[in-house]
Structure 1
Amino acid sequence: MPSNDGPKLGVIALTLQGTRVARQIATAMHGGLYLPARFAAPDESSFGKGQFTVTCQQLFQEMDCVICVMATGIVVRTIAPLIKDKTVDPAVLVVDERAHHVISLLSGHVGGANAWATQLATLLDSDPVITTATDTEHVQALDTLAQQVDGWYPDFKFNTKKYNSLLAAGEPVEIWIDPAFNTYFPDLSGFRKLTTLADASADVPLVIVSDKVNFEKRAASVQVIPRVNALGIGCRKNVTFDMIQTVFTQFCIEHQLAWQSIYALGSIEKKQHEGAIHYLADTLNVPVTFYTAAALKPASQHYPQSTFVAKTVGVGNVACAAAETLTGQRTITDRFALDEITIAMSRKSL
């Protein structure tokens, strides 16, 4: 269930009866409540006469999920000018004023509307209305599968449409999952799971789930790359952009690692002004966190110590300690050192 630290959720209503249902939803889902001024309590967020459209459109732009307790037509006309793309639009649900039905209206898979609708329908003892083809056919969807590991795959729209259409039509689609990620996919309905890649059929579309890149190219295949790996980085002062790019590339080659699997970088606070680290974070489009020596010290004890590094920055190991501190998990690679730059990788639990 969403919390204050989770997705941003807004619940909006128009009528007195809708207000009653909206309050129930906001309480159960820990969402923000937005009501007409004439029905709102003094401590509730409200909008005045003629301000519904502005308020609803603002929620659409700011929230991860918008729940509208009103007629579907009103919602469609209100949000229509703002709809852009399934990759950026929020989830939008519509609930009738008697809470008989919860409709997944927009962004069913990527935005999570289908999951929200199912959850809310359970809370309200309502019927979830979900029209996505893969859901109505009770098969897993490629984009939903990828979300379970925060996965990236190329040509998102094309491949999503292609593979989901095949799955919804009951056509064969094979899947091979790297053993490191097997436990994250309890539902593979519609897929034919392979034990090894060697079992793949030449004429059947294939989905590969792995953070590695050592796969033979196949015409009818797509790779889902889990974004679960974090890099800890240590370096001497003033390393260049070229140096860190080269070291990162060599690290990926050594571990046959897909760079798209990196979701975060970390280092020690004393390196927060190193342009090369920021350059790598910008290149990968991931956040970078700089920790104090005290914050890194507990994790650093799990790895070999350098007296020189400890004297210089206050902790005897930076790369491994930063990687572990980012994810809370021990590193899964040895410390990689080249050109006075060190890198280590850990993998977050999902």
Structure 2
Amino acid sequence: MNTVKPDSVALFCLTPGGKALAERLKPALPVTCFTSEALHTPGFVAFEGGFAHALREAFRHASAIIFIGATGIAVRVLAPLVNDKFSDPAVIVIDERGQHVISLLSGHYGGANALARYLAGVLGADPVITTATDVNEMAALDMLAIQLDARMADLRPAVKEVNHMLVSGKRVGLWCEKALQEELDRCDTRGFIPVADLSVLPELDGLVCVTTQATLPASGVPLYKLVPKRVVAGIGCRRNTPFELLLTLLQRQLLAHHFDPLALRAIGSITLKKDEHGLNALAQRLHVPFEVFTAEALRQHEHHFPASDFVRQAAGVGSVSGPAAWLMCQGHRVGETLREQGVTITLGVSH
């Protein structure tokens, strides 16, 4: 998910008017401003290798690009690099008089629509948003995924299908498991039809289910499962434990508690394991961060879990997986710790 990071916004301007507008925007957000050698002054970075080269480099590395100038220039320079809305950075174009702020690329996943509205508010300009769901004042599946920090199998085709149904006047239901309802209530769900009971469905063309559960009852309509990342796994293991064993045991523990593997938000362990190949490979395979905690931090919570003298002698704390999970989920652990073949796994849920 390529949401805009405040420390990776690049602004490009080519004229004195554009540079003056850039000065107005500087206080509004952390931004690196690029301009030509002729216009270069303190606070700006001169283009390296020319404007087109600098803009293309920013497209590859920045989370958002703001271009002050003609839309056609931005399109011609960036066209060879455009991939898709799930990976391209947000691209905003502003005319140099600051009258219109155009969301050009990655309106939802990249955050261009939200950034365009924000910058328009700063400048007193008109935000130009052309995304179908936005202009029809409806929610969108990809925006819902962002707001809930959720994943979905086959997200790209699902977004295309669901958003098309919404703007075409189709009936798209939205059901949420009870534990997540409060979070969903804070999201934009315009256009979706609320569903309270999966066993009693209204007439629908499709159904989006917000859940961390592995399985759902058959619905009789096309079903799209949106899985918020809420499950954490604290893991302890012997040195050089094979990645394949860690993966097998973690998947077993998730399914034992009926969690969809996509619900995993992070795995955690002790600092001593920060370079453990199997754990790093596990995080990479599952596309989640690997968080580590000092023995001192883990000791603060080890009294909640059975301790091992062997582990204490090796790691300086009597338990690793339980306290690591506790720290990642603020104490909301789930079930008992799995202990097998020198591996311990404790699950927790964070909201």
Aligned to 1:33: 33
Deviation track 1:236-270 (CA, whole Å, cap 9, x = no partner) reads 44544443233212211211011112132111133
1:246–1:75 CA distance, 2 compared to 1 (3 A): closer
Tell me the SS of whatever aligns to 1:104.
strand
1:130–1:124 CA distance, 2 compared to 1 (3 A): same
Tell me the SS of whatever aligns to 1:103.
strand
Deviation track 1:125-176 (CA, whole Å, cap 9, x = no partner) reads 1111001010001010000001112211122222111110111122211010
Instruction: Indicate if the aligned counterparts of 2:6 and 2:31 stay in contact, CA closer than 8 A.
Output: no
1:202–1:170 CA distance, 2 compared to 1 (3 A): closer
Between the aligned partners of 2:243 and 2:218, the Cα distance in structure 1 is 31
Aligned to 2:55: 56
Between the aligned partners of 1:276 and 1:18, the Cα distance in structure 2 is 51
Aligned to 1:20: 20
One-letter identity of the residue aligned with 1:24: R
Query: Identity over the aligned pairs, expressed in percent?
Result: 33
Q: Which moved more, 1:179-188 or 1:98-107?
A: 179-188
2:266 maps to 1:264:
yes
Aligned to 2:249: 247
TM-score under structure 2 length normalisation: 0.90
1:25–1:214 CA distance, 2 compared to 1 (3 A): same
1:273–1:86 CA distance, 2 compared to 1 (3 A): closer
RMSD, matched Cα: 2.2
Instruction: Indicate if the aligned counterparts of 1:11 and 1:25 stay in contact, CA closer than 8 A.
Output: no
Between the aligned partners of 2:60 and 2:243, the Cα distance in structure 1 is 36
One-letter identity of the residue aligned with 1:191: F
Kindly report which structure 2 residues correspond to 1:188-207, keeping only aligned pairs within 5 A, or say none: 188-201=189-202, 203-207=204-208
Aligned to 1:292: 294
One-letter identity of the residue aligned with 1:278: N
Gaps of 5+ in 2: none
One-letter identity of the residue aligned with 1:209: V
Instruction: Indicate if the aligned counterparts of 1:104 and 1:130 stay in contact, CA closer than 8 A.
Output: yes
CA positional deviation for 1:335: 3.7
1:260–1:40 CA distance, 2 compared to 1 (3 A): same
Instruction: Indicate if the aligned counterparts of 2:337 and 2:347 stay in contact, CA closer than 8 A.
Output: no
1:331–1:68 CA distance, 2 compared to 1 (3 A): same
Aligned to 1:84: 83
Aligned to 2:210: 209
One-letter identity of the residue aligned with 1:66: I
Between the aligned partners of 2:34 and 2:71, the Cα distance in structure 1 is 18
Between the aligned partners of 2:301 and 2:118, the Cα distance in structure 1 is 38
CA positional deviation for 1:33: 0.9
Tell me the SS of whatever aligns to 2:344.
strand
Between the aligned partners of 1:82 and 1:238, the Cα distance in structure 2 is 41
Find runs of 4+ consecutive structure 1 residues off by over 4 angstroms.
none
Between the aligned partners of 1:242 and 1:72, the Cα distance in structure 2 is 50
Between the aligned partners of 1:273 and 1:39, the Cα distance in structure 2 is 47
One-letter identity of the residue aligned with 2:216: F
Between the aligned partners of 2:54 and 2:241, the Cα distance in structure 1 is 49
Tell me the SS of whatever aligns to 2:215.
coil
CA positional deviation for 1:179: 1.9
CA positional deviation for 1:5: 7.0
CA positional deviation for 1:211: 1.2
Q: Which moved more, 1:53-62 or 1:236-245?
A: 236-245
Instruction: Indicate if the aligned counterparts of 1:108 and 1:114 stay in contact, CA closer than 8 A.
Output: yes
CA positional deviation for 1:299: 3.8
Between the aligned partners of 1:241 and 1:77, the Cα distance in structure 2 is 46
Aligned to 2:179: 180
Aligned to 1:101: 100
Deviation track 1:80-136 (CA, whole Å, cap 9, x = no partner) reads 111011111100001111111110001111111111111111111111100101000
Between the aligned partners of 2:250 and 2:295, the Cα distance in structure 1 is 24
Q: Which moved more, 1:126-135 or 1:192-201?
A: 192-201
Aligned to 1:123: 122
One-letter identity of the residue aligned with 1:45: V
2:349 maps to 1:344:
no
Instruction: Indicate if the aligned counterparts of 2:6 and 2:29 stay in contact, CA closer than 8 A.
Output: no
Aligned length: 343
Between the aligned partners of 1:322 and 1:6, the Cα distance in structure 2 is 29
Between the aligned partners of 2:173 and 2:5, the Cα distance in structure 1 is 37
Deviation track 1:216-251 (CA, whole Å, cap 9, x = no partner) reads 244511101112322110124454444323321221
Between the aligned partners of 1:248 and 1:180, the Cα distance in structure 2 is 23
Instruction: Indicate if the aligned counterparts of 2:11 and 2:34 stay in contact, CA closer than 8 A.
Output: yes
One-letter identity of the residue aligned with 1:68: F
Instruction: Indicate if the aligned counterparts of 2:6 and 2:30 stay in contact, CA closer than 8 A.
Output: no
Tell me the SS of whatever aligns to 2:102.
strand
